[in-house]
Structure 1
Amino acid sequence: MPAPDAHADDGAAPYAVPDAEDTLDLRLSEDYLAFLEEQEDEACAAAADDRHGTEPDRGGGRTAAAGEDLLDRLADWGPAPTPVGELRLLPVRVECDLPLIARWMNDPAVAAFWELAGARSVTERHVRHQFEGDGRSVPCLGVLDGTPMSYWEIYRADLHPVARHYPARPHDTGIHLLIGGVADRGRGIGSALLRAVADLVLARRPSCARVVADPDLRNTPSVSAFLSAGFRLSAEVDLPDRRAALMLRDRALRHVL
């Protein structure tokens, strides 16, 4: 549809140019701002549809296929059934997904452990770093029954700096998880998603014998969620930024735990 009139009367002059030396002050109507937001939402929805196929670029110049090769083409893994709905891991499109992820990072409960609160650029640097490295990590949105509700980082733990701090095995695959909405926390949803994603990793990566996680040892709810998801506490490890609980979900024990 055509854009609403940007000059619509909102009680003030839409342009104010006192003299030629001043910067142009353009005031857009609420209708026009809503129109721009609608266009951005439609573009992001189209980008989300594209994520079910092959994308040429997800991370500011980096070809997604190069990194995903180390994780057996994560974008093609397909859905994971869970007791709370169907979960899909969709590799992040920074230009579309960053506002949502940054909002989650500014939740005090999240910021206490992720330490990425602040301007959107703080989160953007972190997410782009995942893409601009050597393909060890793929950041993803967790979409549950069509609704984005979590942020994931799936990474090659055996090639990651964390491998210096535990006896890594070839093809160990790591998981970082952030549950975005407060309503989705504390109800067992995290445990259900962790179990489903760990099993998805083991199903799609036949060379991977175990899934690894390293939540902050102080984050009791997170450690408890991993335990409920069939992970076992292997050790406490000192990482550069925290003391972590080394959690493992073994392929050989996945039908037992």
Structure 2
Amino acid sequence: MPPTDESTDAGTARAARAALGSAPGSRAGTGFDPGAGTDCEDTLDLRLSDELIALFAGDTGSRDGTVDGTTTGAVHGARGGSREETPDADDLLDRVGGWGPARTIAGALHLVPVRGGRDLALVHRWMNDPAVAEFWELAGPEAVVEEHVLRQLDGDGRSVPCIGVLDNTPMSYWEIYRADLDPLARHYPARPHDTGIHLLIGGVADRGRGLGSTLLRAVADHVLDRRPSCARVVAEPDLRNTPSVSAFLSAGFRFSAEVDLPGKRGALMIRDRSLRDLL
């Protein structure tokens, strides 16, 4: 793939794609493809923990959207019944809302868990940007975004949707999730406490200038700092989204494998705790 970074002048469409980071994949998948590009050190016989087995036993859904994933879980009630706070089970992710700011060269970034009544209109507007909709596939009426968010808020806490607030300005949407407890784990050799991230940068003015790479590196390292049990941060941007893949590489992730996911072929990107000072 061409060595295109978000900071390069690659045209409006490419810059917009680079800013999208990774997003959820949906529909029936085909399983893990151990083809070219598979990193042998990521393949191992994993003994599933009791926690993982119990959670998978109750997981009958599949991931929604299209450019990375969201977790499954029942949506409780109709519109207007959205949860206003993340559930207590958020401790599956060591309470994201209390992590404090991630320091970046662009300013302090706070990950603020989504509150339905407060944040849905903003996320809905971002999802209806054509450059975003191409990969997230959540454009349409607000009910589409509401359902996507409520699946996480009303779930068991394995995925937490957040607004990224950079120096007091809401400017991005994030999903921090337990990749080892997510349907994604069926498509790659997951390890206990693998933590996944999805990113959407909302404003056009914030795209195409390297900000995505800056934020991805800062949040990935924030995950490793706040989750001592987590040894790897993972993402699976769409392989077609070359600028996004490049942004992850610039953020210190390494390409591990190509994976067939529901609705897309993804690039499995990994940021290792053991390599964070080298990449």
TM-score, with structure 2 as normaliser: 0.70
Query: 1:1-257 counterparts in 2 under 5 A?
Result: 60-61=82-83, 64-257=86-279
**Which amino acid letter does the alignment assign opposite residue 92 of structure 1?**
V
Gapped regions of structure 1 (runs ≥ 5)? 1-58
In 1, Cα distance between equivalents of 2:199 and 2:99: 18
* Structure with the larger RCO, 1 or 2 (CA within 8 Å, 6+ apart): 2
Q: CA deviation at 1:60?
A: 2.7
| Aligned equivalents of 1:85, 1:61: Cα separation in 2 | 30
Task: Please tell me whether the aligned partners of residues 62 and 132 of structure 1 are also in contact (alpha carbons under 8 angstroms).
Answer: no
Provide the C-alpha distance between the structure 1 equivalents of 2:273 and 2:83, rounded to a whole number of angstroms: 35
Take 1:139 and 1:212, find their aligned partners in 2: how far apart are those partners? Answer: 16
Q: 1:201-237, CA deviations, whole angstroms, 9 ceiling, x for partnerless residues?
A: 0000000000000111111111111000000000000
1:77-125 CA-partner distances (Å, limit 9, x unpaired): 0001101111000000110111110000000000000000011111111
Change in 2 beyond 3 A, CA 1:73/1:181: same
* 4+ runs deviating over 3 angstroms: none
Aligned residues: 199
Give CA-to-partner distance per residue, 1:122-165, whole Å, 9 cap, x none.
11110111112221100000000000000000000000000000
Q: Distance in 1 between matches of 2:249 and 2:267?
A: 11
The letter for the 1-side match of 2:169 is T
Mapped partners of 1:119, 1:165: distance in 2? 31
Q: Distance in 2 between matches of 1:116 and 1:63?
A: 22
| CA contact 2:89–2:156 (8 Å) conserved in 1 | yes
1:169/1:218 CA distance change after superposition, 3 Å: same
- 8 Å contact from structure 1 (residues 202, 209) kept in 2: yes
* Contact 1:65 1:73 (8 Å CA) reproduced: no
Question: Cα RMSD over matched residues?
Answer: 1.2
Q: Which has the higher helix share?
A: 1
1:194 alignment partner AA: L
> Mind listing any 5+ residue stretches in structure 2 that lack a counterpart?
1-80
| Alpha-carbon distance in 2 for matches of 1:64, 1:106 | 24
